[in-house]
Structure 1
Amino acid sequence: MKFPRSVAVLAAAALALLPATARAAEYPDPEPLTGQQVIHDPTVVRLGSGGYVAYSTGGVIGARLSKDRVRWEDAGDAFAAPPSWWYEYNPTGDPWAPDISHRAGRYWLYYAVSSWGTNHSAIGVATSRSGLPGTWTDHGKVLTSDTTDTWNAIDPAVIRADGRLWMTFGSYWTGIRMVELDPETGKARAGAPVHHLATRPDAPYAVEGPYVVRHGRHFYLFASYDACCAGVNSTYRIRVGRSTSVTGPYTDSTGRPMLEGGGDLLLAGHGRYAGPGGESVFRDRGQDWLAYHYYDADDNGMPKLGLNRLTWNADGWPSLR
């Protein structure tokens, strides 16, 4: 999830226009981690073979491994080299913002390829039996967008709901979208409508990095608002809304629609932890966890892995520990 610095300035200005719809602005620090913590746009899963893998923007989808969710080691890349079709969308074959999930006996890795400031973009998919780096088989394009479209096909995240498979995606332009996938191929169903889930009232519509999870009878849409990728000057923050339908409409706890800029503030920068976002949710031993990156003000703004326990209050709204 990347965008021009000029847009970052506009997004920061737009921040002042977004009302605080959430709880008191007191945020927990991320869990203490050791080892290789540098990461951007993390997606994490507990592997069936034991331990954890995190994939991220950087490299040919950078990989980190951990035995205990505390100490992380560099594990190279998901792919040895970029698939040739990536170069249609990025001159260096640079993939962004992956999403890992498991179904039908395989791990599925979704990712995006694009360039700064354009929605000439594509989402691809690969599969692996083990989920480990170096074991992935690429299956090509899932969904594309071009300059004639009003959305941007990056930042994918997949959810199964009521026997169907869905993918959220989107960055700037008109915000967050969702499309149904064919569970056999993992790709967008031919002719499937593109649903609109969230946006901001004014250009540059600074919302991206969606992730949908189900808890109880609701679906929850997490998204990154404002600007990333500017080190300690990043204004990223994570907001959330919910719906009884996976395709929306999503509203925050005050009833404000996310299509009108709503969203409860779940996590924002505090202390050394600037610009938290690029989030995803994973389940581990019956508990939900939020994974995200932040920019470490004590380490020259280096992007690092943040992990916090995700809990749910009596009204069904999420909070962090």
Structure 2
Amino acid sequence: MRRLSRLIGTTSAALALLASTAFAYPDPGHVTGDVVVHDPTMIRTSTGYVLYSTHGYLEARTSTDRIAFSRAGSAFRTPPSWWRAYSSGNDPWAPDISQHGGRYLLYYAVSSFGSNHSAIGLATSSTGQPGSWTDQGVVYSTTTSSDHNAIDPNLLVDSSGRWWLSFGSHWTGIRMIRLDPSTGKRLPGDGTLHHLATRPDAPRAVEAPHIVRHGDHYYLFASYDRCCAGTSSTYKVKVGRSTSPTGPYTDRSGRSMLNGGGTPVLETHGRVIGPGGQSIMRDVDGDLLVYHYYDGADNGTPKLGINLLGWDSDGWPYVY
């Protein structure tokens, strides 16, 4: 849709090479309206696009064309009572929306900044629209004695129909559990906590996993370094891949994501500072990278970024 005319005739390999250097990263696609967001997740319904993001009982925005976005309330009208145990301000974060079996699912986190006293919740809806969600309670939680953090959830349904939830931030990085498709919660009898990615250096700043299947591989996208600091943010998106949803995930050079590996997908460039908090959406014109960034031309205001996501001849993603 956006900027495609100037890219006609450019091979995917050439585009990937251009995207491999920060100065050549493309600007976000053109969006208008209410686009001040953190940690966006988006889906296309029968009535258009619905986007949810961090804060405000999970802020909602709608669009008919993926360009003009309008505020449309929030996922929840009132906060579930259990939120208060994890956030004194009843402030949910980092939603993840998907549709399976005729119902919409919204995983999200409740926590406070810098703490791993955190919980991941689940809500369901028949329409996916703001205000229509029914909370299903806690899916997974961590305490201050845990070595990982239950935030930034993402649902994956693998090629065999198994359900998985990846999540994590700092501490020991990205973790994964198996879910029961009938409930959307942890599969009874399976207590395995898989380890997908971390950093060898404190504070082990990797978070916001999102896993998609493409071809014969699963691709783990994650946000690295410092978020939420306006023009001082150093956030960036990296990726690794595996033939199994539980890993091991390695980057283009073969380095494990359990040892700091990760191939850059999108980094700071021009006025686009600290892009991250990403999700992947499959739309009629291809895969999309949906993310937030801090606008260096607008005092570091967090804004919505949307780019098409291509795949080069070796199967690695790039934005354009």
Range into which the TM-score falls when normalised by the shorter chain? over 0.9
- Name the aligned partner's letter for residue 142 of structure 1: V
Find the partner of 2:21 among 21, 24, 41. 24
**Counterpart residue number, 1:7:** none
**Counterpart residue number, 1:187:** 185
**Counterpart residue number, 2:49:** 52
Are residues 1:40 and 2:38 paired?
Answer: yes
Map 1:99-118; keep pairs closer than 5 Å.
99-118=96-115
Where in structure 1 are there 5+ consecutive unaligned residues? 1-21
Are residues 1:308 and 2:297 paired?
Answer: no
Shift of 1:81: 1.3
- Name the aligned partner's letter for residue 177 of structure 1: R
Shift of 1:192: 2.5
Cα distance in 2 for partners of 1:300, 1:192 equals 45
Cα distance in 2 for partners of 1:299, 1:260 equals 36
Shift of 1:72: 0.3
Q: Secondary structure at the match of 1:87?
A: helix
Are residues 1:245 and 2:244 paired?
Answer: yes
Q: Secondary structure at the match of 2:148?
A: coil
TM-score normalised by length of structure 2: 0.92
Q: Percent identity?
A: 61
Shift of 1:251: 0.2
CA offsets 1:187-229 (integer angstroms, 9 cap, x no match): 1123431100000011110000000000000000000000101
**Counterpart residue number, 1:202:** 201
Q: Secondary structure at the match of 1:81?
A: coil
**Counterpart residue number, 1:83:** 80
TM-score normalised by length of structure 1: 0.92
Shift of 1:286: 5.1
Cα distance in 1 for partners of 2:298, 2:73 equals 22
CA offsets 1:85-131 (integer angstroms, 9 cap, x no match): 00010111100000000001100000000112211100000000110
**Counterpart residue number, 1:14:** none
Q: Secondary structure at the match of 2:83?
A: helix
- Name the aligned partner's letter for residue 132 of structure 2: T
Q: Secondary structure at the match of 2:35?
A: coil
Are residues 1:221 and 2:232 paired?
Answer: no
Shift of 1:50: 2.8
Moved >6 Å (runs of 4+)? none
- Name the aligned partner's letter for residue 131 of structure 2: G
Cα distance in 2 for partners of 1:127, 1:259 equals 33
Cα distance in 1 for partners of 2:207, 2:268 equals 17
Q: Secondary structure at the match of 1:298?
A: coil
Cα distance in 2 for partners of 1:36, 1:151 equals 34
Find the partner of 2:172 among 165, 171, 174. 174
- Name the aligned partner's letter for residue 155 of structure 1: D
Map 1:114-153; keep pairs closer than 5 Å.
114-153=111-150
Is contact 1:100-1:107 (8 Å) kept?
Answer: yes
Cα distance in 1 for partners of 2:298, 2:59 equals 20
Cα distance in 2 for partners of 1:238, 1:219 equals 16
- Name the aligned partner's letter for residue 315 of structure 1: D
Q: Secondary structure at the match of 1:299?
A: coil
Cα distance in 2 for partners of 1:84, 1:293 equals 29
CA offsets 1:48-88 (integer angstroms, 9 cap, x no match): x1310110001000000000000000111111111010001
- Name the aligned partner's letter for residue 127 of structure 1: T
CA offsets 1:245-292 (integer angstroms, 9 cap, x no match): 000000001000000000001100111111000000001115100000
- Name the aligned partner's letter for residue 218 of structure 1: H
Cα distance in 2 for partners of 1:248, 1:275 equals 27
Q: Secondary structure at the match of 2:21?
A: coil
